[in-house]
């Protein structure tokens, strides 16, 4: 089996059995670092930093891992393994969509959305611990929150404005 095929097999096994962007991390780290010795712990850590650096889904970290292990073919294998499991949702939407007005299905969807929203708040805590490190970054978050909720300002402008403020603050020597 060529390297890229085995790499894709490792990736797809991990993405098809995990339910979040970094959920596949333990399995992929075990296979690539401990079993195949194709990557180091440091490289895996770098890919996590990279996915935090870029916008879009956190699951795209697997593309960086693929590139580090096998160049462009590895990156394509990572992209395929990231994207392919999403097609499963068509079966779910097809089945539940026909029954979406049933009170029990409505109850199920409502409960899952409420639990997801709560999980999102919990997920923001560790990111906040890392990102809100000084008066400037705390100020950015405090000002951005009501703008997003009340004014419904487009997120792209919030992110761009925050980056510019932080960059300007660094130029002026303001503590982050």
To other proteins, the closest distance from the beta carbon of 168 in angstroms equals 9
Of 123, 3, 19, 12, the closest CA to residue 62 belongs to: 12
Number of H helices, E strands in the chain: 8, 0
Return d(Cα 128, Cα 61) in angstroms, integer.
Answer: 20
Does 48 contact other proteins by CB under 8 A? no
Contact between 82 and 45 (Cβ < 8 Å): no
Q: Which is nearer to other proteins, 41 or 154 (CB)?
A: 154
User: Contact with other proteins (CB under 8 A): which of 4, 6, 9, 21?
Assistant: 21
Of 61-100, binders to other proteins (CB under 8 A) are 61, 63-64, 67-68, 75, 78-79, 82-90, 92-94, 96-97, 100
User: What do you get for the CA distance between the two ends of the chain, in Å?
Assistant: 50
Of 103-162, binders to other proteins (CB under 8 A) are 103-124, 127-128, 130-133, 136-138, 140-142, 144-145, 148-149, 152, 154-156, 158-159, 161-162
Sign, CA dihedral 73-69-22-26, equals positive
Of 25-44, binders to other proteins (CB under 8 A) are none
CA 168 from centroid of its chain's CA atoms: 27
CA distance to 34, 68, 116, 117, per residue, from 29 (Å): 7, 13, 27, 29
To other proteins, the closest distance from the beta carbon of 150 in angstroms equals 9
Stretch that binds other proteins, among 2-10, 32-40, 164-172 (CB under 8 A): 164-172
User: Contact with other proteins (CB under 8 A): which of 6, 9, 18, 27?
Assistant: 18
Q: Which is nearer to other proteins, 2 or 53 (CB)?
A: 53
């Amino acid at each position: 089996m060529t390297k890229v095929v085995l790499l894709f097999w490792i990736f797809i096994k991990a993405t098809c059995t995990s339910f979040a962007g970094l959920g596949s991390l333990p399995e992929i780290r075990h296979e690539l670092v401990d079993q195949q010795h194709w990557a180091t712990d440091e490289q895996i850590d770098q890919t996590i930093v990279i996915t935090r650096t870029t916008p879009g889904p956190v699951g795209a970290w697997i593309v960086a891992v693929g590139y580090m292990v096998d160049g462009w073919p590895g990156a394509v294998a990572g992209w395929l393994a990231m994207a392919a499991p999403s097609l499963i949702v068509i079966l779910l939407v097809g089945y539940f969509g026909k029954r979406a007005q049933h009170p029990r299905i409505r109850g199920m969807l409502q409960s899952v959305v409420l639990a997801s929203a709560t999980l999102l708040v919990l997920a923001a805590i560790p990111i906040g611990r890392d990102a809100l490190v000084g008066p400037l970054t705390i100020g950015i978050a405090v000002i951005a929150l009501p703008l997003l909720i009340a004014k419904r300002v487009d997120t792209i402008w919030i992110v761009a404005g925050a980056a510019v403020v932080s960059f300007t603050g660094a130029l002026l020597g303001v503590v982050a």
